Amino acid sequence: MRIALLGGTGDLGRGLALRFGFHTDHDVVVGSRDPDRAHEAADAYESTLHDHGRERKITGFENAMATDRADVVVLAVPPYHVADAVEAVSGTLDSDDVVVSPAAGMRRDESGAHAHPPSAGSVTALAADAAPDDVPVVGAFHGLAAGRLAALGADLGIDTLLVGDDERAKEVVSGIVEDVDGLRALDAGGLANAAEVESLTPLLLNVARHADGLHDPGVSFR
Protein backbone atom coordinates (compact mmCIF):
# COMPACT_ATOMS: atom_id res chain seq x y z
CA MET A 1 0.00 0.00 0.00
CA ARG A 2 1.25 3.50 -0.78
CA ILE A 3 0.36 6.18 1.77
CA ALA A 4 0.60 9.89 0.86
CA LEU A 5 0.71 12.35 3.72
CA LEU A 6 -0.44 15.74 2.39
CA GLY A 7 0.93 18.45 4.62
CA GLY A 8 3.38 15.74 5.58
CA THR A 9 6.02 18.26 6.64
CA GLY A 10 3.93 19.22 9.69
CA ASP A 11 3.91 17.64 13.13
CA LEU A 12 1.16 15.07 12.52
CA GLY A 13 2.56 14.22 9.08
CA ARG A 14 5.98 13.66 10.62
CA GLY A 15 4.56 11.46 13.37
CA LEU A 16 2.56 9.34 10.95
CA ALA A 17 5.44 9.10 8.45
CA LEU A 18 7.79 7.87 11.15
CA ARG A 19 5.32 5.35 12.57
CA PHE A 20 4.33 3.96 9.15
CA GLY A 21 7.98 3.90 8.15
CA PHE A 22 9.10 2.23 11.35
CA HIS A 23 6.40 -0.38 11.93
CA THR A 24 5.14 -1.21 8.42
CA ASP A 25 6.40 -1.89 4.92
CA HIS A 26 3.91 0.47 3.27
CA ASP A 27 5.44 3.07 0.96
CA VAL A 28 5.36 6.48 2.62
CA VAL A 29 5.15 9.57 0.41
CA VAL A 30 5.47 13.04 1.94
CA GLY A 31 3.35 15.66 0.19
CA SER A 32 3.68 19.42 0.47
CA ARG A 33 2.60 22.44 -1.57
CA ASP A 34 6.33 23.06 -1.92
CA PRO A 35 8.17 20.05 -3.46
CA ASP A 36 11.51 21.17 -2.01
CA ARG A 37 10.09 21.10 1.51
CA ALA A 38 8.60 17.67 0.80
CA HIS A 39 12.00 16.33 -0.30
CA GLU A 40 13.73 17.81 2.73
CA ALA A 41 11.20 16.34 5.14
CA ALA A 42 11.39 12.93 3.45
CA ASP A 43 15.17 12.95 3.80
CA ALA A 44 14.90 13.94 7.46
CA TYR A 45 12.41 11.14 8.18
CA GLU A 46 14.64 8.63 6.41
CA SER A 47 17.51 9.79 8.59
CA THR A 48 15.46 9.47 11.80
CA LEU A 49 14.37 5.98 10.78
CA HIS A 50 17.99 5.08 10.03
CA ASP A 51 18.92 6.24 13.53
CA HIS A 52 16.31 3.80 14.85
CA GLY A 53 17.71 0.95 12.77
CA ARG A 54 15.18 1.06 9.96
CA GLU A 55 16.46 1.56 6.41
CA ARG A 56 13.50 2.96 4.48
CA LYS A 57 13.09 4.97 1.30
CA ILE A 58 10.74 7.89 2.01
CA THR A 59 9.89 10.07 -0.98
CA GLY A 60 8.69 13.66 -1.17
CA PHE A 61 6.54 15.35 -3.83
CA GLU A 62 4.23 18.23 -4.40
CA ASN A 63 0.78 17.27 -3.01
CA ALA A 64 -0.94 16.41 -6.31
CA MET A 65 1.99 14.28 -7.46
CA ALA A 66 2.14 12.56 -4.09
CA THR A 67 -1.59 11.82 -4.40
CA ASP A 68 -1.18 10.43 -7.91
CA ARG A 69 1.13 7.73 -6.57
CA ALA A 70 -0.91 6.80 -3.51
CA ASP A 71 -3.63 4.37 -2.46
CA VAL A 72 -4.36 6.18 0.80
CA VAL A 73 -4.19 9.98 1.02
CA VAL A 74 -4.03 11.48 4.53
CA LEU A 75 -5.02 15.16 4.85
CA ALA A 76 -2.47 16.07 7.51
CA VAL A 77 -3.22 19.77 7.11
CA PRO A 78 -4.93 22.30 9.41
CA PRO A 79 -8.75 22.12 9.28
CA TYR A 80 -9.08 25.42 7.41
CA HIS A 81 -6.86 24.04 4.60
CA VAL A 82 -8.72 20.74 4.20
CA ALA A 83 -11.12 21.81 1.45
CA ASP A 84 -8.35 23.55 -0.53
CA ALA A 85 -6.02 20.57 -0.14
CA VAL A 86 -8.65 18.15 -1.44
CA GLU A 87 -9.55 20.40 -4.37
CA ALA A 88 -5.89 20.82 -5.30
CA VAL A 89 -5.43 17.06 -5.67
CA SER A 90 -8.88 15.99 -6.84
CA GLY A 91 -7.72 15.53 -10.44
CA THR A 92 -5.36 12.77 -9.28
CA LEU A 93 -7.85 11.02 -6.99
CA ASP A 94 -9.81 8.05 -8.25
CA SER A 95 -12.41 5.75 -6.81
CA ASP A 96 -9.83 3.16 -5.72
CA ASP A 97 -8.18 5.73 -3.49
CA VAL A 98 -9.12 6.37 0.11
CA VAL A 99 -8.89 9.87 1.58
CA VAL A 100 -8.32 10.10 5.35
CA SER A 101 -9.25 13.16 7.39
CA PRO A 102 -7.53 13.52 10.79
CA ALA A 103 -8.18 17.23 11.47
CA ALA A 104 -10.57 18.71 14.05
CA GLY A 105 -12.07 22.19 14.14
CA MET A 106 -11.19 23.87 17.43
CA ARG A 107 -11.20 27.17 19.13
CA ARG A 108 -9.25 27.99 22.26
CA ASP A 109 -9.92 30.23 25.21
CA GLU A 110 -8.29 30.61 28.61
CA SER A 111 -10.11 27.49 29.87
CA GLY A 112 -8.88 25.19 27.16
CA ALA A 113 -9.65 23.82 23.72
CA HIS A 114 -13.21 23.50 22.44
CA ALA A 115 -14.85 21.68 19.57
CA HIS A 116 -15.64 24.16 16.82
CA PRO A 117 -16.79 22.19 13.80
CA PRO A 118 -17.18 23.78 10.36
CA SER A 119 -20.65 24.38 8.99
CA ALA A 120 -20.50 20.99 7.23
CA GLY A 121 -20.84 19.49 10.73
CA SER A 122 -17.35 18.04 10.89
CA VAL A 123 -14.02 18.39 9.12
CA THR A 124 -14.48 14.87 7.77
CA ALA A 125 -17.78 15.93 6.19
CA LEU A 126 -16.05 19.02 4.79
CA ALA A 127 -13.42 16.79 3.19
CA ALA A 128 -16.11 14.48 1.80
CA ASP A 129 -17.96 17.45 0.31
CA ALA A 130 -14.75 18.66 -1.36
CA ALA A 131 -13.74 15.23 -2.73
CA PRO A 132 -15.09 13.79 -6.00
CA ASP A 133 -18.32 11.88 -5.34
CA ASP A 134 -16.81 8.47 -6.05
CA VAL A 135 -13.80 8.90 -3.74
CA PRO A 136 -14.45 7.62 -0.21
CA VAL A 137 -13.40 9.70 2.80
CA VAL A 138 -12.70 8.19 6.22
CA GLY A 139 -12.19 10.16 9.44
CA ALA A 140 -9.29 8.72 11.46
CA PHE A 141 -6.15 9.57 13.49
CA HIS A 142 -7.93 12.16 15.67
CA GLY A 143 -6.29 13.05 18.93
CA LEU A 144 -3.06 11.24 18.20
CA ALA A 145 -0.36 13.36 19.80
CA ALA A 146 2.25 14.08 17.15
CA GLY A 147 5.07 14.11 19.71
CA ARG A 148 4.13 10.69 20.96
CA LEU A 149 3.97 9.27 17.45
CA ALA A 150 7.38 10.73 16.63
CA ALA A 151 8.94 9.26 19.80
CA LEU A 152 9.54 5.87 18.19
CA GLY A 153 10.73 4.39 21.46
CA ALA A 154 7.37 5.13 23.13
CA ASP A 155 4.75 2.39 23.22
CA LEU A 156 1.43 3.64 21.90
CA GLY A 157 -1.19 1.29 23.36
CA ILE A 158 -4.00 3.53 22.13
CA ASP A 159 -6.93 3.49 19.75
CA THR A 160 -8.01 5.49 16.75
CA LEU A 161 -11.66 5.70 15.76
CA LEU A 162 -12.82 5.37 12.15
CA VAL A 163 -15.90 7.07 10.71
CA GLY A 164 -17.13 6.89 7.15
CA ASP A 165 -19.88 5.62 4.91
CA ASP A 166 -17.76 3.29 2.72
CA GLU A 167 -17.03 -0.02 4.42
CA ARG A 168 -14.25 -1.03 2.02
CA ALA A 169 -12.46 2.27 2.64
CA LYS A 170 -12.73 1.80 6.41
CA GLU A 171 -11.26 -1.69 6.05
CA VAL A 172 -8.31 -0.28 4.11
CA VAL A 173 -7.64 2.33 6.81
CA SER A 174 -8.15 -0.22 9.58
CA GLY A 175 -5.55 -2.42 7.91
CA ILE A 176 -2.81 0.21 7.80
CA VAL A 177 -3.65 1.33 11.36
CA GLU A 178 -3.35 -2.17 12.75
CA ASP A 179 0.03 -2.58 11.05
CA VAL A 180 1.38 0.04 13.48
CA ASP A 181 2.39 -1.60 16.76
CA GLY A 182 0.21 -0.42 19.62
CA LEU A 183 -2.39 1.32 17.49
CA ARG A 184 -5.87 -0.21 17.24
CA ALA A 185 -8.64 0.86 14.85
CA LEU A 186 -12.23 0.92 16.11
CA ASP A 187 -15.27 1.56 13.97
CA ALA A 188 -17.40 4.46 15.25
CA GLY A 189 -19.97 4.35 12.45
CA GLY A 190 -20.86 6.57 9.54
CA LEU A 191 -19.69 10.00 8.48
CA ALA A 192 -22.58 11.53 10.46
CA ASN A 193 -20.78 10.43 13.65
CA ALA A 194 -17.58 12.32 12.83
CA ALA A 195 -18.24 15.37 15.03
CA GLU A 196 -18.15 13.31 18.24
CA VAL A 197 -14.91 11.66 17.12
CA GLU A 198 -13.33 15.02 16.27
CA SER A 199 -14.30 16.27 19.76
CA LEU A 200 -11.69 13.89 21.16
CA THR A 201 -8.96 16.25 19.96
CA PRO A 202 -9.84 19.23 22.21
CA LEU A 203 -10.77 16.82 25.02
CA LEU A 204 -7.32 15.24 24.93
CA LEU A 205 -5.66 18.67 24.91
CA ASN A 206 -7.66 19.61 28.02
CA VAL A 207 -6.77 16.35 29.76
CA ALA A 208 -3.09 16.85 28.87
CA ARG A 209 -3.18 20.33 30.38
CA HIS A 210 -5.06 19.57 33.60
CA ALA A 211 -4.65 15.92 34.56
CA ASP A 212 -1.57 14.96 36.53
CA GLY A 213 0.99 12.69 34.96
CA LEU A 214 -0.44 12.46 31.46
CA HIS A 215 1.84 13.86 28.77
CA ASP A 216 0.57 13.55 25.18
CA PRO A 217 -2.31 11.30 26.27
CA GLY A 218 -4.14 9.03 23.89
CA VAL A 219 -7.30 7.11 24.46
CA SER A 220 -8.07 3.43 24.84
CA PHE A 221 -11.60 2.04 24.73
CA ARG A 222 -12.11 -0.97 26.96
Residues in contact with a second copy by the rule CB under 8 A: 109, 111-115, 157-158, 161, 186-193, 195-197, 199-200, 202-204, 206-207, 209-212, 214, 217-222
Q: How many CA atoms lie within 13 A of 90 on its CB side?
A: 18
Q: Would you say 142 and 200 are in contact if contact means Cβ atoms under 8 Å apart?
A: yes
Which DSSP state fits 163?
B
CA distance 32 to 183: 26
Given the complex with a second copy, which of 55 and 212 has the nearer CB atom? 212
Q: How far is the CB of 221 from a second copy (least distance, A)?
A: 5
| Pairing verdict, β 98-101 and 59-62 | unpaired
CA distance 153 to 3: 22
Q: How far is the CB of 109 from a second copy (least distance, A)?
A: 7
Q: How far is the CB of 114 from a second copy (least distance, A)?
A: 7
Q: How far is the CB of 214 from a second copy (least distance, A)?
A: 6
Given the complex with a second copy, which of 16 and 195 has the nearer CB atom? 195
Given the complex with a second copy, which of 48 and 174 has the nearer CB atom? 174
Determine how many CB atoms are found less than 10 A away from the CB of residue 187. 14
Q: How far is the CB of 26 from a second copy (least distance, A)?
A: 23
Rg (CA), the chain: 16
Determine how many CB atoms are found less than 10 A away from the CB of residue 78. 14
The type of residue at 72 is V
Given the complex with a second copy, which of 44 and 207 has the nearer CB atom? 207
Q: How many CA atoms lie within 13 A of 39 on its CB side?
A: 3
Given the complex with a second copy, which of 65 and 161 has the nearer CB atom? 161
Selection from 166, 180, 175, 172 nearest residue 132 by Cα:
166
Given the complex with a second copy, which of 152 and 158 has the nearer CB atom? 158
Q: How far is the CB of 1 from a second copy (least distance, A)?
A: 22
Given the complex with a second copy, which of 29 and 104 has the nearer CB atom? 104
Q: How far is the CB of 158 from a second copy (least distance, A)?
A: 6
Selection from 89, 81, 40 nearest residue 60 by Cα:
40
